[in-house]
Structure 1
Amino acid sequence: MTIDEFFQHLWHDYTAMTPQAKRIHDALIEDGETIVNDHVAFRTFDRGPITLAALEPQLLALGYTPLEPYDFEAKYLRAWGYLPPQQDQPRVFLSELKCDELSLESQAVIDRLVAQIDPDSVNTPEILWSGRLWEAPTFDEYRLLMGESEYAAWLSIIGLRANHFTISVNHLTHYDTVEKLLEKVESLGLKINESGGRVKGSPEALLEQGSTLADRQPFTFADGQVEEIATCYYEFAKRYPKADGTLFQGFVAASADKIFDSTKMS
């Protein structure tokens, strides 16, 4: 599978969960912009056959190389950034929940979910847009996880897929700042993630980011209860040159921590 084919599959799955992304994309195209994807991000558990280390080979097979690790202590997460084989291709951000830092009750729920995964399913790129590989949790289980980790609760019902794509502001003409792009998004009637400020980061940090609040869809839980749950969102990033003149390629943990809040239900 080529990188282009990989991202076509991801985009198809992502926009099915995130109708706002297609609206934003099409509106910018109508304004004469060229859309370049800065990066995509994935969430997973550090349990069962879908750990970060188990998923990484699919990225390496596409030519990606590990950049650097990140840690989000308050959210019980670790992550790695990955660089593509060519500069005009999207970066990847892959994070996993440190399940040992949750209660034994929450760990038991997660263990029950990941025990249902076919280990062979991790051996193909499709794993990264496979969605939920287990039966839906009960709503009480979902609420238990939500009480400790919004990330865990989200993953338990949404499953494995790109939780966001990211528009590269560097490649836009009319909307050449993150704030201008956020204002355009708001003009479409969409809401912005205000956690940590509308624009996270700074030119001094070499990266500025903003994002929408996630779309929502109804999901049926194992006990038959139907609830509207946050799905995925669209991010916007502007990168700045380092002292040597080359564009910053990594991520800023303090900003990413607030971007995670795009899927918060409140």
Structure 2
Amino acid sequence: MTNQEFFAQLWDDYVAMTPQAQRIHDAFLADGETIINDHVAFRTFDRGPIRLEALEPHLLAMGYTRFAPYEFAAKKLRAFGYLPPSDDQPRVFLSELKCDELSTQAQASIDALIEQIAPQHVASPEVLWAGRLWAAPSFETYQQLMAESEYAAWLSIIGLRANHFTISVNRFTQYDTLEKVLAKVEDLGIGINDAGGRIKGSPEVLLEQGSTLADRQPFTFAGGQTEEIPTCYYEFAKRYHDDDGQLYQGFVAASADKIFESTDVRGERSAGR
């Protein structure tokens, strides 16, 4: 599988979960913009065959290199950024939940999911859009996880897949600021994540980011209960050059912390969704 094929498959899975992304993508194309993907992000648990260090080899095999570590203490997460083998390919952001920092009950619920994973399902890069590798949890389990970690609850029902793609605003001409991009998205009737401000970051930290609020889809939980759950979202990033004239390649932890909240159920409620 080539890198191009990998990201094409990933995109197809992503837009099936995130119809708003295709609408946004098509709207900017219709206005004559060129869309380049700045980065793609994944979520996982730090347990069993889907922990970060077990998934990372799929990225390394595609020519990616580990760039920088990130910690999100309040959300109990660790992450790494990965640089692509060529500038025309997206960066990757891979995070994992530090399960040991959750309650014994939450850890037991997560372990019950992890134990269902068949080894053959994680042996190829397709695992990164495989979705849920376990049976759906009960809605009660989902809510119990939600009480401790929105990330854990999301992952328990959504599974492994890109939680967002990111448009590079640097490549735009008409919509050359992040505020112009966000205004265009709102004109499409799509909500913006305003946790920490509509625009996270600044030219001073060399990166500005904004994102939509996640799409929603109904999911059937164990026992047959069906509930509408936040799925995935679209992000927008503008990078700046450092004092040496080099385009910033990393991520800003304080901004990424708030971008995570694009899938929060509580965040959507506070935003009136």
Establish whether TM, by shorter chain, passes 0.5. Answer: yes
Whole-angstrom CA distance in 1 between matches of 2:2 and 2:177: 32
Q: Which residue of 1 aligns with 2:79?
A: 79
Whole-angstrom CA distance in 2 between matches of 1:122 and 1:238: 33
Q: Give aligned-pair identity as a percent.
A: 74
Give, in angstroms, the shift of residue 123 of structure 1: 1.4
Q: Secondary structure at the match of 1:16?
A: helix
Whole-angstrom CA distance in 2 between matches of 1:102 and 1:124: 29
Match of 1:152, as an amino acid? A
Q: Which residue of 1 aligns with 2:139?
A: 139
Q: Which residue of 2 aligns with 1:219?
A: 219
Whole-angstrom CA distance in 2 between matches of 1:148 and 1:80: 23
Q: Which residue of 2 aligns with 1:163?
A: 163
Match of 1:132, as an amino acid? R
Q: Which residue of 2 aligns with 1:88?
A: 88
Structure 2 unaligned runs (5+)?
267-273
Q: Secondary structure at the match of 2:205?
A: coil
Whole-angstrom CA distance in 1 between matches of 2:30 and 2:242: 33
Q: Which residue of 2 aligns with 1:4?
A: 4
Whole-angstrom CA distance in 1 between matches of 2:146 and 2:119: 26
Q: TM-score, normalised by structure 1?
A: 0.99
Q: Secondary structure at the match of 1:74?
A: coil
Q: Which residue of 1 aligns with 2:36?
A: 36
Q: Which residue of 1 aligns with 2:204?
A: 204
Matches within 5 A, 1:14-33: 14-33=14-33
Match of 2:44, as an amino acid? T
Q: TM-score, normalised by structure 2?
A: 0.97
Whole-angstrom CA distance in 2 between matches of 1:265 and 1:183: 23
Q: Which residue of 2 aligns with 1:100?
A: 100
Give, in angstroms, the shift of residue 120 of structure 1: 2.4
Backbone CA RMSD of aligned residues: 0.5
Structure 1 unaligned runs (5+)?
none
- The alignment covers a number of residue pairs equal to 266
Deviations 1:78-113 (A, max 9, x none): 000000000121000000000000000000000000
Whole-angstrom CA distance in 1 between matches of 2:233 and 2:133: 21
Does 1:113 find its partner at 2:128?
A: no
Q: Which residue of 2 aligns with 1:57?
A: 57
